[in-house]
Structure 1
Amino acid sequence: MAVRPEGTPVWTDAMFTDVEGAKTFYDDVLGWTFGESSSEFGNYTQAYKNGKAVAAIVPPMPGQDGEPQSAWCLYFASADVAATAEKVRGAGGTVLMEPMQVGDFGSMCIARDPSGVSFGLWQAGTHEGFEREGETGSFVWADVFTREPDRTDAFFTEVFGYGSKKMQDEQMDYKAFDLGGSQPVLGRMAMTAADFPPEVPPYIQVYFAVDNCDKAVEAAGRLGGRKVFGPMDSPFGRFAAIVDPQGAAFAVIDVRTTVGDMPEFA
Structure 2
Amino acid sequence: MTTRDTNWPTGYPCWIDISFDTEHRRLHHAATFYGELFGWRVEDGDDQYGGYRMCFKNDAAVAGLMPKMDPGQPTQWLLYLATDDAQATAAAVRQFGGQVVVEPMDVGTLGVMAVCVDPQGGYFGLWQGKEHHGFELIDEPGSVGWSDLLTHDGRAAQEFYAAVFGYTYREADADGYFFIEQDGKVVGGLHQAPQDVPVGWLVHFNVASRDASAQIAQELDGEIVMTLDTIAGPEATIQGPGGEFFNLVEPTNNFTL
Q: TM-score, normalised by structure 2?
A: 0.92
Instruction: Give the match for residue 162 of structure 1.
Output: 167
User: C-alpha separation between the residues in 2 aligned to 1:255 and 1:138?
Assistant: 12
User: C-alpha separation between the residues in 2 aligned to 1:37 and 1:180?
Assistant: 37
Deviation at 1:2, TM superposition (A): 3.1
Instruction: Give the match for residue 201 of structure 1.
Output: 198
| Aligned-residue identity in percent | 35
Deviation at 1:223, TM superposition (A): 1.6
Instruction: Give the match for residue 225 of structure 2.
Output: 228
User: C-alpha separation between the residues in 1 aligned to 2:71 and 2:221?
Assistant: 26
Does residue 49 of the first structure (1) align with residue 50 of the second (2)? no
User: C-alpha separation between the residues in 1 aligned to 2:173 and 2:217?
Assistant: 33
Instruction: Give the match for residue 218 of structure 1.
Output: 215
Equivalent residues of 1:145, 1:202 under 8 A apart: yes
Equivalent residues of 1:139, 1:208 under 8 A apart: yes
Deviation at 1:152, TM superposition (A): 0.7
Equivalent residues of 1:213, 1:238 under 8 A apart: yes
Aligned partner of 1:189: which letter? H
SS in structure 1 opposite 2:162? helix
Equivalent residues of 1:16, 1:58 under 8 A apart: yes
Matching of residues 1-266 of structure 1 within 5 Å = 1-17=5-21, 18-61=26-69, 64-66=70-72, 68-169=73-174, 172-181=175-184, 183-193=185-195, 197=196, 200-230=197-227, 232-256=228-252
Equivalent residues of 1:9, 1:185 under 8 A apart: yes
Deviation at 1:201, TM superposition (A): 2.5
User: C-alpha separation between the residues in 1 aligned to 2:128 and 2:117?
Assistant: 17
SS in structure 2 opposite 1:24? helix
Contiguous gaps of at least 5 residues in structure 1? none
| Number of residue pairs aligned between Structure 1 and Structure 2 | 247
Equivalent residues of 1:69, 1:247 under 8 A apart: no
Deviation at 1:69, TM superposition (A): 2.5
Q: Give the ranges of 4+ consecutive aligned residues of structure 1 lying more than 2 Å apart after TM superposition.
A: 232-235
User: C-alpha separation between the residues in 2 aligned to 1:2 and 1:58?
Assistant: 24
Deviation at 1:31, TM superposition (A): 1.2
User: C-alpha separation between the residues in 2 aligned to 1:105 and 1:180?
Assistant: 26
SS in structure 1 opposite 2:138? coil
Deviation at 1:165, TM superposition (A): 0.6
The CA deviation string for residues 78-137 of structure 1, in whole angstroms up to 9 with x for no partner, is 001000000101110000100000010000000010000000000000000101101111
Q: TM-score, normalised by structure 1?
A: 0.89
Aligned partner of 1:8: which letter? Y
